[in-house]
Structure 1
Amino acid sequence: MKGMPQLIDGLPCNYYFVLLFMHFPKTKSNRMKTLYIIAKIVLMAALLALATLGTAQTDTLLLEEILITAKSSTNLYKSSIEGKTIQVENPHDGGAMFINQAGFGVEKRGNYGMEPVLRGFKYSQLTVLIDGGMHSTNACPNRMDPAISQIAPEEIEKIEVIKGPFSVRYGTALGGIINIVNRKPDRSTGKKAAGSIEAGYQSNGGNFYSSMFVQTVHNKFDFSLNAGYKDYGNYKSGSGQKIASSFTRFGYATKLGYQLADNRRLQLTWRQSLAKDILYAGLPMDADKDNSSMVSLDYVAHSLSPVMKSLKVKLYGSYVDHEMSNTLRPAYAAVHAVSPVTARVMGGRTELGLQTFTNNLLYAGIDFKHIEKDGYRERLVYKNTCTGEVYDEPKQFFDKTWQDSNHDDLGIFLENKYEFSPNLFWTLGLRSDYIFYGINDPVAGFEEQYNHKIIPKSRVDISATTSFTWFLPKGYSFFVAAARSTRAPELTELFINHLSVGMDAYEYLGNPNLKSEVNNQFDLRAEKQIDKLILFVDVFYAYINDYITAAVDTTIGRVYTPCQEPKFTKVFYNVDEALLSGFESGINWQFFPRFNYSLSVSYTYGENLSWKEPLAEITPLTVQTALVYKDMKFHTELHARFVDEQTRVAPAFNESRTPGFAVFDFYADYTFGESFQIMISVRNMFDKNYAEHLSRAYKAMDIQSLYFEPGRSVNFGLKYKF
């Protein structure tokens, strides 16, 4: 890759930060040079502030969280997946954590690298943060390696979710924000060293997993190490069909913190994920390896003066090294294909919290993000599948995957929170993003397709949001919000060149003339609390202009294996109007001191208004219900999901209808003394044979099949705390 040093195993973190901070990629644009200089100055000034700030009163230092409000019940439009829930359900993959959450679906191409879909918004329409501001991205054009897959569930303390584009502080968020908060040293234990070790086995697939967490605290220093290993086999569906789903993963994360004062903290984080031999039955290839590295440096200070309430500074970098091949596919007999690809992200953010009045808190900040992707596909062709000719010597071809492309975003934001009274809050946010693209190694045919005008125009995208939160007597509360949010096209949509990256069999071609999507969204949420019973309903309406989709262009033929169907290419386009609307509603009832019952219903309606047909990959009507018993040592839960059939499908993407299903899970754990915990669960108790609507069907496999979910699995785990 040009202009960016690689993240190398064993490279000292402090050296990498020098490279990350001082070695911005070279650019031919004078405007880009100016923006890089501005970003440097802002981030350097923020770092210099670390040495000049004084001490102040003790306050809670929260580096990673984003959902901090004056009133805990102001989470009317926010929600969290707590660590206990993640531990009990024991999901094997980052995306799998969302399957039991109202409003979410999960797109599945393999049993690893699953990806959440929120209210029909997916991919870069959702902003995925790590520890309150760090970003990563996929290197694979088919998204085998979404950002959320680069974090293991055992590393996570909780997940925070903002449904809708109702915060401007963390980047552009067309449909919502997901913040993954990872485990960190707990200084409140009073122990110099503490930790846990866990291991378990799952019957369906013969899956083994293990993890460990250790921390040490000494004076102002603290350090933690979190590591995990998984070896998963091919599971069987409810009908007994073996599903290609195996993978092996090892990952670890370290955090080194220094408590400068009671109200100031400095923290360095380093993590790696190393996965291999990953089968993706829903894609044309499998992953031989999927390695990622991330590093971040954080500084936070609270209560610096009566006016300056907080200062947060974050610098980060990530690197993904991904390789896939068709070695295990039928096509390997004619063509040996391997594709090494890489992705790099580097950036930072600085934010000030200012108490401008007694009842007014203003957040002001700047953030910067640089994404670059490169790679190729090497093909050794032994047989021409169109003519049947077998070559004496294989013919070698190299196909450019990303054309060495990049994306830069410099954002400035203001978000104001005004308290009219202890029961009425008003939030107003404004954000401006300055966006630029580059392509350094274009394919000649791609240039010719667009008359050599392949550099997208730079743009300024404006987002704004306003909301009211109101608490009334007798347990009533309301949240109403409106927002205009934007999403600039991602590199796939701009620069991909005749690769099958969609849910159908077409080759896709990027379009450098795409406009940014604009979401005009309105949300209304109401809650009613009656003693220990909470009822809620949340209705949303998102009207999207310049929605990015893809359509067949009959003037552009298929490039690879042109004799096969479909013979034409799909090109990414903007359509004038699209709609996403729906609701989540439910109850939560603690009917006895140790018993809790919850019920939620969620539905999303998606429509391409310009084409007068449904949007593709929309989660059907889903009902979730759970009965929980919990005391100091014993926890048990019976959970059920009822999913309706999905008949609203997109003909333009050859999307298939899927039948409804019901699936039941049982979880239990018991703590012996202070140290040992045993965990038992039965997933899919009645061995139901079913497939999720968002799971991709088999592609380029020996057989044609839906990607069925696992049948019954009995899981056993043991945890030791010290």
Structure 2
Amino acid sequence: MKILLLWICLFQNDSTSKILPEIKIKGRSLETIEDHLQKSGTVSLLKRGVYAAEPFLNGMSSERSRITLDGMMIYSACTDKMDPVTSYMEVTNLQKVDIHSGNGPSTSGGMDLIRRKSQFAPSNLKTTILSGFETNNKHKSLGIQSSKSSEHFYIDGDITWRNAENYKAGNKREILYSQFSKINGGLNIGFQPAKHHAYEVSMIYDLAQNIGYPSLPMDVAKAEAFIGSFQFNKHHFHPVFLDWKTRIYHNRITHIMDDSQRPNVPIRMDMPGWSKTSGIYSSLNGVKKAHSFKGLVHFHTNYSLAEMTMKSPGEKDMFMYTWPGINTSEWSLSLDDKVYLQKHLYLNANLSLSVNQQKMMKDFEGLYIFFPEASSSQSRFLTNTTWGISYEGNPYHFQFSLSYKERAPSVSEAYGFYLFNSNDGYDYIGNPDLPKENSYSIELAQALSKPHYQLKWDNQFFHLNNYILGQVKENLSPMTLGAQGVKIYAPLDYALLYRSNASLGIPFLSEWYWDLKALFQYTYGKDYGTLPFTPPLSYSSSLSYAKNRWLMKAEMEGARSTHEIPSYSIFHTEILYKSKDWQIKLRGENLMDQYYTTFSDWNKLPRMGRNLIINVAWSF
């Protein structure tokens, strides 16, 4: 039984004490960030290819969530969402992912990616070499992590390389234009001149090239990101105020779409995009009697620009802005308080106030054709608050929370110009006059952990007002050849979303563990019906055997059919050996080589067929 409990701690995501989980990143495996996110039960992934899946938090698209890196804002640079923020990170950069419901404007919640870094304590030089190979698409990966620390200094470095060819769906059907190549490097340097007084410099550089997106009409020649920050930290300097952190940061992203590798394209297009973000935030943590609190002041500014050049043989090139130089500035103040009421019982409160301003910087007349009275600048005051109560006893855990959240329209929703959506076949146009979107939500989670079973049940209900969605505009001509028409972003009166996620775990015969999970979601938009990318009832089950240094697991996952997607059930297996210095993992996925697609696959892109994976890590 001790071996089994150790395995549960090491290899399972323990979220029983939180309604929204903390996802720990396994430092000795080159699984992708997406692999970790989709195991949380809170995040689903919309796939346009193998690379850079878009995270849907609580069943909602990425516009409705806020994804940060150590609290830093990062804006994607692609009008087609081919580069979510998570695509510019690697597992070698990260320690964990915090999923939360507060801290900034959003209507579905947020995710904070936490960097991996050492502590100020004497240690030897520690290095881990990681490698992996997948047979289906010949995905080769190689990484190295290294760290050294003392009482006054630490340095962490990592570098990861990946290269993959086209993958094959079930029944050996090759999916063209699904290849990619990537290199990522990270560096953390910390300096502590005096006790409880430290500085940190952090950098990430990520370069992906020749990225195929088989469900889209275009690929990506280059996606490049530089993310840098400087942090000052002072802690244990006052009986009440325990930790004060100030970070200055800057990041820039270049994303270049082209269709030069696609044959028989009637009009060639180049679509580069750029995003630059600078910011500063300061947070203060403290404890006063029964209160554990945190205050945060944050300012950031972003500039997003995207272009499109259409090239037809024998004719003059046509040029236009698809994001006409949008500057977004935001001030925010947030306060968190966790109040101890009595043994195991806590009150949780969060309040965030923000001022968001968007301004069109380019002299661009396109949007004024559709919105002649629109202003080139919009300011919105945004409020986000969450109140909850939690009981964190043993063996029972309970959490209940009420939230009100607001967000401003995204750059595409407000200012996008003729953005083609290949999934529904429409050109999309932004609306500068959109109202802010807001949501009321109720979240209820319960967990019961007994020696012979563990139960968990999470429920979330959202009522969203002014739900922003592209709506057909008659009598407008599309710009993209073959497009069905034009949609302009507009608010629905309201939309509803309900999610229920349940799991049951049963340990037995000392070394065995059986796990069963089910996820149900319902969505509805007034005068629209079921909202896009609503998942059917899905389920998974696994049986594990752990003894000494070995873990063996058999898994099954599937989903019921919808009117568009047939049902499926696929099977996986895994063997893991772990010692002090070595970790070797062999995994087989989709063992029956089933041809299938899910609700979150763009243009019904089929998922990968049978795939055998080996990951090896050596630490010294």
State which of 126, 130, 151 in structure 1 corresponds to 2:89.
151
Residue identity over aligned pairs, in percent, reads: 20
Report how many residues are paired: 606
Residues 190-215 of structure 1: CA deviation (Å, up to 9, x unaligned):
53311111222211112211100111
- 573, 578, 593: which one aligns with 1:666: 573
Residue aligning to 1:41 = none
Instruction: Give the drift of 1:498.
Output: 1.1
Alignment-derived partner of residue 584 in structure 1: 501
Letter in 2 for 1:493: E
Matching residue of 1:685: 591
Higher strand share: 2
CA shift in 2, pair 1:684/1:414, >3 Å: same
Q: Distance in 2 between matches of 1:636 and 1:454?
A: 61
Structure 1 residue 448, shift from structure 2 partner: 2.7
Moved more, 315-324 or 286-295: 315-324
Partner of 1:91: 31
Q: Distance in 2 between matches of 1:363 and 1:186?
A: 22
Matched, 1:430 2:354: no
Instruction: Give 1:549's match in structure 2, choosing from 446, 469, 478.
Output: 469
Match for residue 397 of structure 2 among 469, 477, 488: 477
- Structure 2 segments unaligned to the other structure (5+ residues): 1-13
Q: State the AA in 1 paired with 2:246.
A: V
Work out which of the residue numbers 225, 240, 260 in structure 2 matches 1:307.
Answer: 240
Instruction: Name the residue aligned to 2:5.
Output: none
- 8 A contact 2:191–2:198 mirrored in 1: yes
Q: Which runs of 5+ in 1 are unaligned?
A: 1-71, 383-392, 648-656, 698-705
Q: Quote the Cα distance in structure 1 between the aligned partners of 2:335 and 2:94.
A: 29
Structure 1 residues 272 and 435: CA distance shift in structure 2, 3 A: same
CA drift of 1:266 comes to 2.0
What displacement does 1:493 show?
0.3
State the distance in 2 between where 1:262 and 1:685 align.
55
Question: For residues 421-469 of structure 1, what are the alpha-carbon distances to aligned partners after superposition, in whole Å with 9 as ceiling and x for unaligned?
Answer: 1221111222111011111114323223211524243111112210001
Amino acid at match of 1:155: N
Partner in structure 2 of residue 54 of structure 1:
none
Contact 1:105 1:619 in 2 (8 A): no
Does the 8 Å CA contact 1:447/1:454 hold for their aligned counterparts?
no
Moved more, 250-259 or 633-642: 633-642
Following superposition, the deviation at residue 612 of structure 1 comes to 4.6
Pair 1:676-2:582 in alignment:
yes
Shift of 1:471: 4.3
Q: Which residue of 1 aligns with 2:299?
A: 368
Offset at 1:547?
Answer: 0.5
Equivalent residue number for residue 64 of structure 1: none
Give distance in 2, aligned partners of 1:158 and 1:565: 42
Q: Secondary structure at the match of 2:87?
A: helix
In the alignment, what sits opposite 2:438?
518
Mapped to 2, the partners of 1:212 and 1:516 lie a distance apart of: 44
Residues 558-598 of structure 1, C-alpha deviation per residue, up to 9 Å, x if partnerless?
Answer: 2344xx442x3100001111001121111233335443332
Q: Does 1:403 align with 2:333?
A: no
Q: TM-score, normalised by structure 1?
A: 0.80
Residue 117 (structure 1) aligned to one of 51, 56, 62: 56
The match for 1:629 among 532, 545, 551 is 545
Partner of 2:607: 709
Q: 1:360 to 1:103 in 2, by over 3 A?
A: closer
Partner of 2:116: 183
Asked if 1 retains the 8 angstrom alpha-carbon contact of 2:427 and 2:483, the reply is no
Instruction: Write the letter of the residue equivalent to 1:80.
Output: E
Amino acid at match of 1:708: P
Partner of residue 458, structure 2 = 538
- Are the structure 2 counterparts of residues 667 and 155 from structure 1 closer, same or farther at C-alpha, using a change threshold of 3 Å? farther
Q: Is the 8 A contact 1:435 1:459 kept in 2?
A: yes
Corresponding residue number in structure 1 for 2:423? 503
Q: Where do 1:2-41 residues align within 5 Å? A: none
CA distance in 2, matches of 1:323, 1:471: 48
Secondary structure of residue in 1 paired with 2:591 = coil
The answer on whether the counterparts of 2:16 and 2:456 sit within 8 Å (CA) in structure 1 is no
Residue 324 of structure 1, CA deviation: 1.1
Residues 420 and 480 in structure 2, CA contact (< 8 A), matched pair in contact too:
no
* Structure-2-length-normalised TM-score: 0.93
Where 2:18 maps in the other structure, the secondary structure is: helix
Report what 2:17 is aligned to.
Answer: 75
Asked if the contact 2:168/2:175 (under 8 Å) is kept, the reply is yes
Partner of 1:604: 521
**Partner of residue 695 from structure 1, selected from 565, 576, 601:** 601
Q: 1:421 maps to what in 2?
A: 342
Note the alpha carbon deviations across 1:102-134, whole angstroms, 9 max, x for none. Answer: 243210011111012133212121221212x02
Q: Which residue of 1 aligns with 2:3?
A: none
1:175-254 equivalent positions in 2, closer than 5 A: 175-185=108-118, 190-244=122-176, 245-254=178-187
Residue 217 (structure 2) aligns with: 284
Which is worse superposed, 437-446 or 593-602?
A: 593-602
Partner of 2:360: 439
Please say if 1:267 is aligned against 2:267.
Answer: no
Equivalent position SS for 1:97? helix
Distance 1:200 1:527 in 2: 36
What residue identity is the alignment partner of 2:419? L
State the Cα distance separating 1:301 from its structure 2 match: 3.0
Secondary structure of the residue aligned to 1:304 is coil
1:141 to 57, 61, 79: 79
Counterpart residue number, 2:312: 381
* CA distance in 2: counterparts of 1:122 and 1:523, whole angstroms: 19
1:573 is aligned to 2:494: no
| 1:292 match: secondary structure | strand
**Cα gap change, 1:275 to 1:539, in 2 (>3 Å):** same
Offset from partner CA, 1:71-109 (integer Å, 9 cap, x none): x9883313122233x756x534x3343333324321001
Residues 597 and 286 of structure 1, relative CA distance in 2, 3 Å threshold: same
User: C-alpha root-mean-square deviation of aligned residues, in Å?
Assistant: 2.1
Name the amino acid aligned to 2:145: F
- Does residue 160 (structure 1) correspond to residue 91 (structure 2)? The answer is no
1:42-71 alpha-carbon deviations (Å, 9 max, x no partner): xxxxxxxxxxxxxxxxxxxxxxxxxxxxxx
Which digits, 9 at most, give the CA deviation of each residue in 1:119-157, with x for residues without a partner? 3212121221212x0221211100111101110133332
Q: Distance in 2 between matches of 1:293 and 1:305?
A: 36
- Rate the CA distance shift 1:442–1:614 in 2: closer, same or farther, 3 A: farther
Alpha-carbon distance change, 154 to 665 in structure 1, aligned in 2, over 3 angstroms: farther
Inter-CA distance 463–717: structure 2 relative to 1 (3 Å threshold): closer
CA contact (8 A) 1:680 1:717 kept: yes
CA distance, structure 2, for counterparts of residue 615 and residue 532 of structure 1: 40
Measured in 1, the distance between the counterparts of 2:99 and 2:468 equals 24
Letter in structure 2 aligned against 1:710:
M
Q: Bigger CA drift: 582-591 or 73-82? A: 73-82
Matches of 2:512 and 2:196, distance apart in 1: 39
Q: Deviations over 1:389-437 (max 9, x none)?
A: xxxx332111212101121111112222211112211112221110111
Q: Does 1:342 align with 2:342?
A: no
